[in-house]
Amino acid sequence: MTKHDVVIIGGSLAGAACARELARLGIDAAAFERDRFPRARVCGGFVSPGGVDCLERLGVLDDVRAAGAVEVSSAKVRMGSAEVDVPFQRPGLGISRSALDKIVAGASVHQGFAVSRVVPADAGFVVSGLGFEVACSALVDAAGKLSRFTRRRGEEEFGIQYTEEAARGNVLDFWFFEDGYGGAVSVEGRRSNFCFLINKDSLKKYAGRPECLVTGPLAYDRLPGDYIAVGDAAGMVDPFCGEGMRHALDSGMLAARIVARGIRAGRGYSEMRREYEVEWNSRWGWKRALGAGLRQLLHHRDFSRAAFRFIPPRLWNRLWN
């Protein structure tokens, strides 16, 4: 059995960001990822301006730009015949999730190691999978929206994603329509990434495209659990907020800082978890509440179409900055 101060379950954006930040802070940590990068994953491909800041703080922004990320300077949002243009105060980036995961993970993630079991032990946990067993004093769940280790409240919605061989310029296109909502953005290689959230009953109408990826059912809300959870394992940020990748990066880095501080101060894991949850709610609770409110509004199509025309661009900027 090997031992680390911290074990991270999952090495995609949230887990990789957590591992990188812990290493920067001098903490012995290991992230275990079931898959190997690059790999395809349902994702909008848009890194918000705030997410770009996270990439810079992690020290990988230059690598992301070198991989062909496309600068995104505005959004065009449509609902029925109504349309609004939203110039961004700061640019975001368009990049495929497969490229971004590979860059952020770097050498900090053990790829091809699926965690199957977590057992509480004296002053920590024992984490195991096929061919490995690791002891640690702190555990971070970064296993995503379908994590086995953190319970969530599911919804009857699914995500679909596909690409097309044509770029769309520097604009994030976003649509609200009868069966759901979603958007398209230019990514590396002169391609466009399309990603939509579709109601379960309408999924068959949209999922038949060649190379279309499907994920779900989605889960926005995390139920009380025993572990520090980051990224989608902590609860999804509504896709139309455009902040999913920023949330993954930011929550992973936040958990790393709190865990590093707790380890140095000799605090127990439960205390670190409570501190993280308070700070996470302070940073992300308002945006998730706003997303939940807007999601409910979309159930009333006539009212939401009328209200859409009066949403000022600065409010859209609040979602994407």
Q: Strand 152-154 to strand 132-141: parallel, antiparallel, or no bridges (unpaired)?
A: unpaired
| Amino acid residing at 102 | K
Q: Strand 157-164 to strand 115-121: parallel, antiparallel, or no bridges (unpaired)?
A: unpaired
Mean pLDDT across the chain: 87
Domain with residues 2-320, CATH architecture = 3-Layer(bba) Sandwich (3.50)
> Longest Cα pair distance anywhere in the chain, in angstroms?
61
Q: Strand 29-33 to strand 2-9: parallel, antiparallel, or no bridges (unpaired)?
A: parallel
Residue 1: how many other CB atoms lie within 10 Å: 8
Residue 217 dihedral angles phi and psi, to the nearest 5°: -65, 145
* 117, pLDDT greater than 60: yes
pLDDT of residue 304: 60
* 153, pLDDT greater than 80: no
8 A C-beta contact, residue 122 and residue 137: no
Model confidence over 217-228: pLDDT tens digits? 777 766 677 899
Whole-angstrom Cα distance, residue 319 to residue 288? 10
The stretch 129-152 carries a mean pLDDT of: 85
| 178: DSSP letter | T
Whole-angstrom Cα distance, residue 235 to residue 73? 28
8 A C-beta contact, residue 11 and residue 109: yes
pLDDT of residue 308: 60
In sequence order, the β-bridge partners of residue 79 are 82, 176
Whole-angstrom Cα distance, residue 54 to residue 13? 11
Closest CA to 150 of 19, 273, 30, 23: 273
pLDDT band at 303 (very low <50, low <70, confident <90, very high): low
Model confidence over 18-30: pLDDT tens digits? 999 999 999 999 9
Closest CA to 7 of 113, 100, 86: 113
Closest CA to 269 of 129, 153, 160, 118: 118
Check residues 115 and 236 and name the one with the higher pLDDT.
115
Whole-angstrom Cα distance, residue 94 to residue 109? 24
